[in-house]
A and B are shown apart, each in its own frame.
Chain A
Amino acid sequence: MGGSSFSDISPLSRIRKWFKRIDRYSRIVDIGEISRRYFVINSFDGALSMIGVILGAKIAGIENPLSVIWLGLSIALTMGISGFSGAYIAEKAERTRYIKEMEAALATKLTNSILNEACRTASFLIAVIDALSPVVVSLVSIIPFVLAYFGMLTMDAAVFLSLAIICALIFLLGAFLGRISRESWAAYGLKMLVIGLITAAILVLVEHLR
């Protein structure tokens, strides 16, 4: 009779519908470009913060892997919450302004329009990406300390491995930017890596000057 049964709204088909809707929205408002920008900026933020946490812990003489894990988790949580709320509020403000300008240009209300829905979804999605990117980077970079906690690595090896993972992530972020700009991915990767290494060097230098 045209009504949908429970089998029609299986989780998989719901997800498929959701992705279809996002694809439709992304053709109306810009989601991809801003998401990419937020992803790179916040992943880079997360990576540099984790360099700070790991080197800071090493310099402070913390030998307990659990302490570093907790530090990493708190950084991930803080950056996640700050990323989501900051990006959501900022995006929402920009999109609301856009809708209001559009309403003035069209001399009509756009409350129930697909344009308004697309703007709301875009703000939410961008905020989620902004929140998740530093969280993922932070969580990945503390994996060696989890291994150290279970006695599979020494603390020094965990520090070394964690820094290596962060450097690799930073390089990959740079390479991603290189691909977007259609220039040399290696050059972009190296540029980003140099910034990460300079940050680490400054941290070590500050410690020596202390």
Chain B
Amino acid sequence: MSCMGESEDVQISVNKVVIDSLKPKDLPLVELSRSLCSIDGVHAVNIIVTEVDARTETIKITLEGSNIDYDAIPKVMERCGAVIRSIDEINITKSARKR
């Protein structure tokens, strides 16, 4: 077993991530959704606007898929000009690695 708690024979897969984020008002939701959807393993992107300010919008992003490339999320968000405020929910599964 590795120090991260991951055995060599099992695969840890991120299947769902819920993010509380702040984005520029001018950035269309479709643009952000498309960029997030291009992340490896993401099958569906769901965005809900929870608060609207003069220049920004607070949004709740739900990424669903299998084996989501978690490290790519902040990079894509930064590229879009959106800020991650917190990760509110995460779903991870463990499965036997295919040989």
Contacts and interface: CB of A to CB of B under 8 A. Distances in A.
Instruction: Tell whether A and B belong to one assembly.
Output: yes
Interface of A: 24, 27-29, 101-102, 105-108, 110, 112-116
Contact of A105 (B27, B28, B56, B78): B56
Nearest to B23: A106
A123 B65 CA distance: 38
Interface stretch (B4-12, B44-52, B79-87): B79-87
B22 A24 contact: no
A106 B78 contact: no
B25 to A, nearest CB: 9
B79 A113 contact: yes
Contact of B31 (A28, A101, A107, A112): A28
A27 B27 CA distance: 8
B24 interface: yes
Interface in B7-37: 22-24, 26-28, 30-31
A208 B53 CA distance: 61
Nearest to B53: A105
B26 A106 contact: no
Nearest to A30: B26
Interface of B: 22-24, 26-28, 30-31, 53, 55-56, 78-83
A105 B79 contact: no
A113 B78 contact: yes
A113 B81 contact: yes
A27 B31 CA distance: 8
Contacts of B28: 27-28
A155 B52 CA distance: 64
**Closest 6 CB pairs between A and B?**
A113-B81, A115-B81, A105-B55, A108-B83, A105-B56, A110-B81
A113 B31 contact: no
A208 B20 CA distance: 73
18 contacts: A27-B30, A27-B31, A28-B26, A28-B28, A28-B31, A105-B53, A105-B55, A105-B56, A106-B23, A106-B82, A106-B83, A107-B83, A108-B83, A110-B81, A112-B78, A113-B78, A113-B79, A114-B31
A106 B55 CA distance: 9
Contact of A101 (B30, B53, B55, B78): B55
B7 to A, nearest CB: 31
Given A28-B27, A29-B26, A102-B55, A113 B83 contact: no
Contacts of A112: 78-79
B31 A106 contact: no
A34 to B, nearest CB: 14
Among A24, A101, A114, residue most surrounded by chain B Cβ atoms (within 10 Å): A114
Among A106, A107, A112, residue most surrounded by chain B Cβ atoms (within 10 Å): A106
